[in-house]
Amino acid sequence: MLLSDLQTKDVINIKNGNNLGRIIDAKIDNTGKIIYFVSEDRKFLRKVARSGESSFDFDKIKKIGEDVILVDL
């Protein structure tokens, strides 16, 4: 799967059902391992109508579906 494929899916926190937005970037170490993803912060966007970001570790991903990525934060 390509990063561009992941960027089309909403990220959902399974603890509370919050939509964390979509992946906009990834931090990758020198060996090519993904350290964490950066997603747009939908809460922030609604409140002030400008861009905000949040991040989550790769190991927090529980399931990648057709339309969403489920994370346990």
Strands 34-40 and 19-28: antiparallel
Q: What is the third-level CATH fold of 3-71?
A: SH3 type barrels. (2.30.30)
Residue 36, pLDDT score: 92
Q: Give the start-to-end residue ranges of the domains of the chain.
A: 3-71
What does the pLDDT look like over 2-57, one tens digit per residue? Answer: 888 999 999 999 999 988 889 999 999 999 899 999 988 765 444 444 456 788 89
Residue 13, pLDDT score: 92
Which single residue is written with the structure tokens 């970037």? 25
Strands 68-71 and 10-13: parallel
Token pair in block for residue 63: 């399931």
Please state the separation of Cα 52 from the chain's center in Å.
12
- Give the predicted TM-score (pTM) of the model: 0.77
Residue 45, pLDDT score: 46
